A and B are shown apart, each in its own frame.
Chain A
Amino acid sequence: MSINRDKFGALLFLCLALIYGFYVDDIPLLFGDEDAPFNARTLPNALAWLLGVVSFIQLILPTNREAGSLEHAFRGLKWKRVVILAALMVFYGLTIRQLGFPISTSLFLMGGFYTLGERRPLVLILTAVGVTLAFWGLLYAMGIYLTPGDFFYYLGWMSNDA
């Protein structure tokens, strides 16, 4: 049995409405706000109900055959390269402070080019480093200075005195 794509989406949003609605009660209220016509919980409460009702309606309405099955929607997708690119983005976020903008950006771009099939070392390195340094220089000219990275400070190659 395969689930219809639209129904699966509606089911996901119904779950979201329930979870969101569950956490509405965690919103703290100021003293006296409980009886106010509008407080911090009013809109979230309404939204949880509305989303719940809309997704429930979509669940019980007749199946839209044109939407196809969930399996069909996810068939033939090239996940591997996308997962690697996502990992590279996480790596970029983790290293931009430590390694600094020039190194982490160059590594990110080189990794991205390589993942997508670029194998010429000269293109890989020159494009990544060239674009990174040009962008770094442009930012510097615009008055935005990005430090070379904490790593260099730890090594003592750079000084914080400047």
Chain B
Amino acid sequence: MLEGIFSGLSTAVMPINLLMVAVGCFAGTFIGMLPGLGPITAIALMIPITYGFDPSTGLILMAGVYYGAIFGGSTSSILINAPGVAGTVATAFDGYPMAQKGQAGKALAIAAYSSFSGGTIAAIFLLVAAPALASVSLSFQSGDYFALMVLGLTAVSAFAGKGQVLKAITMTLFGIMLSTIGTDPAAGVARFTFGSMDLVDGISFLLLAMSTFALSEALLSILRPTKDTRSEEEKALKSLGSMKLSKEEVKIMIPVIGRSSVLGFFTGVLPGAGATIASFLAYGMERNIASAKEKLGFGKGSIRGLAAPETANNAACSGSFVPLLTLGIPGSGTTAVMMGALISYGVQPGPRLFVEQPDVFWSVIISMYIGNIVLLVLNLPLIPYISRLLALPQQLLVPFVLFFSLVGVYLVTFNTMDIHMMVIAAAIAIGLRLLNYPMAPMLLGFILGKMMEENLRRALAISDGSISFLWERPITLVILLISILFLAAPLIGNLRSWLANRKSALPNDGEL
């Protein structure tokens, strides 16, 4: 393990990789601060740039973008109460009231120190947990992998939020359906290609990610114009106030950071949960354990209320790398995009990665420390300068996003048909977004669909066509039972609330 850490360290501190962490953090912070664009878009836009690099460098850049986007989202949350990403919504609860009290600089500093500490502590956990889990998972069989993928997909649906479970399941199934287009890898027969040569290789992951996130998010910002908050944000950044923290404030933060790091990391490890759930859980936990007097301060600029979600969301980001790096199963939309990029570099994430390409495995983990340092040392003092980029008018910004998305996909295949397919996919994505269907489960379904089919086929072949592999090994059975629990819990909850409200429900005039 020590050898691996040193090898990762030597790769991560190479000048090009250090540069990429810094570039990633800056680009991520900028994109995260833009209204409407999230970390998935930020990472997807970076993929074409990383094709020229080796896998370690590419993944290091994307990890930097991920952290940067979360940090950028926090900045918008604190300054103008407009979270750029869902994972920083809880940050606004106490961050924005602090900014309103004229303590914006202090709030940003608390967010940065908490993010740094959360990310660093979680990276230490990752350092221990990832190799251990990778070693265990080497004994996993096809059936276990199939069960794990089912768990990943059901968890994403289960954590989708109230009223969204069925929609998330629908989108997951839709994603798996899209993954069946093309040549069946085992039988070599064409499926759903309708005679088109362009579909023989299936739909490219990058094309799908770019069109359903980058393109559709950019077009939606035109279709459904939201309040342009950039000038407001720029103005707020000009009067930040002091960024210094007193000893008492640091004393308050330390135990919060410790608790929220642990909670955030383990929430991040769970497939489907992630930065958003982690930040809300941490905020709720802090409020619950606070004294009656301290509780009154929550929502009015409490240091604990700001430090907890900020620590947890960054810790969850690190935690979400555990299933990706050790099992090859992405737990969130963001890590699904990273996995797609890794596969296109020719690197298969999973337990073999730890054995076969330890430099990639360790350099990513080590780069997380470096990324956190970059965020703290460079991004925090440079925030006012990064924000100047926000002055770029939207009429120029949106065509640039469209251009980078289109050309990013075109440069991989040099097939103009891909550009047309992107327009169609973006149009469908916009329609689905307007109907309030979540996009991340679809991407996850698409990525895991092919692997799930392959593992199911292999498991059935090994067990001579019998489905007994689902319960023969305790680990497979336990994973499947957890999946059923994940899926059943929200559905039963919905059913119970429906039964409870049934009597008071009014007739639904005119609606189908």
Contact = CB atoms under 8 A, between A and B. Distances in A.
Query: Do A and B belong to a common assembly?
Result: yes
Nearest to B511: A4
A1 B400 CA distance: 41
Interface residues of A, number: 75
Interface string A36-72: 1111100110010011001101100111111101000
A89 B416 CA distance: 11
A151 to B, nearest CB: 14
A63 B423 CA distance: 32
Interface string B417-430: 10110110011001
A58 B203 CA distance: 28
Contacts of A155: none
A58 B403 contact: no
Contacts of A55: 170
A137 B432 CA distance: 38
Interface in B441-468: 453, 456-457, 460-461, 465-466
Contacts of A123: 396
Given A43-B180, A63-B511, A50 B173 contact: yes
Contact of B393 (A9, A82, A118): A118
Given A8-B435, A62-B505, A47 B420 contact: no
A23 B194 CA distance: 10
Contact of A116 (B190, B395, B420, B461): B395
Contacts of A7: 511-512
The secondary structure that dominates the A interface is helix
Interface string B43-54: 000000000100
Contacts of A57: 166
The secondary structure that dominates the B interface is helix
Contacts of A135: 407
B223 interface: yes
Interface in B167-217: 167, 169-170, 173-174, 176-177, 180, 184, 186-192
B189 A29 contact: yes
Interface of B: 52, 163, 166-167, 169-170, 173-174, 176-177, 180, 184, 186-192, 219, 222-225, 393-396, 398-400, 402-403, 406-407, 410-411, 416-417, 419-420, 422-423, 426-427, 430, 432, 434-437, 453, 456-457, 460-461, 465-466, 498, 505, 508, 510-512
7 contacts: A8-B435, A16-B177, A27-B189, A30-B188, A73-B434, A78-B223, A116-B222
